[in-house]
A and B are shown apart, each in its own frame.
Chain A
Amino acid sequence: EVQLVESGGGLVQPGRSLRLSCAASGFTFDDYAMHWVRQAPGKGLEWVSGINWDSGSIGYADSVKGRFTVSRDNAKNSLYLQMNSLRAEDTALYYCGKDAAASYYDGSGCDYWGQGILVTVS
């Protein structure tokens, strides 16, 4: 069974940093691209970042570019999101998503999602 479990969220002051983690199990982690997607309270989905299976290609939404850094450790089956210079508008539920393909721009979409972790910047 595929499982994605996010951790590391919480309440943080504006300008501070936070690191999210996503522990993956139930599939061959290094075969697939991964994503971070967020959802502000009562709002729609917003893509944050994607990373290919081998970290060879990485992408960010304009809203987080230069502040957030995505990484993965295939040996630990883990995905990370380092969030610096946090702003109130970064407040959201952050989801970890497994892509159905090795490249995050393949168009295959996220076939598995975690339950999300709440980040509150205030």
Chain B
Amino acid sequence: SYDLSQPPSLSVSPGQTATITCSGDKLGQKYACWYRQRPGQSPVLVIYQDDKRPSGIPERFSGSNSGNTASLTISGTQAMDEADYYCQAWDSSTEVVFGGGTKLTVL
């Protein structure tokens, strides 16, 4: 099976840059996307096809994917960015797979 690994948690101060990683075998050869999920809400797509932002997602959200690691970077982190973040990719063996999620705390 294909697994995606994320750090369980990350803390950042307001205004700083938060980088959340997602690791998987040869992940750079697949497309990765990222979701934000605030408590009690449905997920929201923030990055797709590695580095593209859907309309309505602020420019401070960016993505990259190379080698075995995809990254979601939030520049100038704000209190409203506090949420769980999940990476997702597709693999021929496992089909669609999610990472375990990273809880981002802004304090």
Listed in ascending order, the chain A residues whose CB lies under 8 Å from chain B are 35, 37, 44-47, 50, 59-62, 95, 100, 104-111, 113-116
Contact of A109 among B88, B97, B100, B101 (CB under 8 A): B88
B8: nearest chain-A partner, CB-CB: A44
Q: Is B32's CB within 8 Å of the partner chain A?
A: yes
Chain A residue numbers with a CB within 8 Å of B43 are 37, 45, 95, 110, 113
Q: Are the CB atoms of A59 and B96 closer together than 8 Å?
A: yes
Q: How many chain B residues have a CB neighbour from A under 8 Å?
A: 28
How many pairs of residues, A versus B, come closer than 8 Å at their CB atoms? 75
- Bound: A104/B91 CA distance, A: 11
The contact sample of 27 A-B pairs, CB cut-off 8 A, is A35-B96, A37-B43, A37-B98, A44-B99, A45-B37, A45-B43, A45-B86, A47-B95, A47-B97, A50-B95, A59-B96, A95-B43, A100-B54, A104-B90, A105-B90, A107-B32, A107-B48, A107-B49, A107-B89, A107-B90, A108-B49, A109-B33, A109-B48, A111-B54, A113-B43, A114-B42, A116-B42
A95 to B86, CA, bound (A): 15
Q: Is B106 an interface residue (CB 8 A)?
A: no
1/0 per residue, CB under 8 A from A, across B78-104: the answer is 000000101011100011111111000
Which of A45, A50, A62 is B1 in contact with, Cβ under 8 Å? Answer: A62
- If A107-B33, A110-B43 touch, whether A61 touches B48 (CB-CB below 8 Å) is no
Q: Contact at B101–A45, with CB atoms within 8 Å?
A: yes
Is A109 in contact with B42, judged by CB distance below 8 angstroms? no
Given contacts A107-B31, A107-B89, A108-B49, contact A62 B94 (CB under 8 A): yes
> Which B residues lie within 8 Å of A110 (CB)?
35, 43, 45
Q: Given A105-B95, A108-B33: A115 and B48 within 8 A (CB)?
A: no
What residue of chain B has the Cβ atom nearest to residue A110's Cβ? B45
Return A115 CB to nearest CB of chain B, in Å: 6
Complex: A105 Cα to B37 Cα, angstroms: 22
Asked whether, in the complex, the Cβ of B96 is within 8 Å of the Cβ of A105, the reply is: yes
B38 in contact (CB, < 8 A): no
**Across-interface contacts of B35 in A (CB, < 8 A):** 45, 109-110
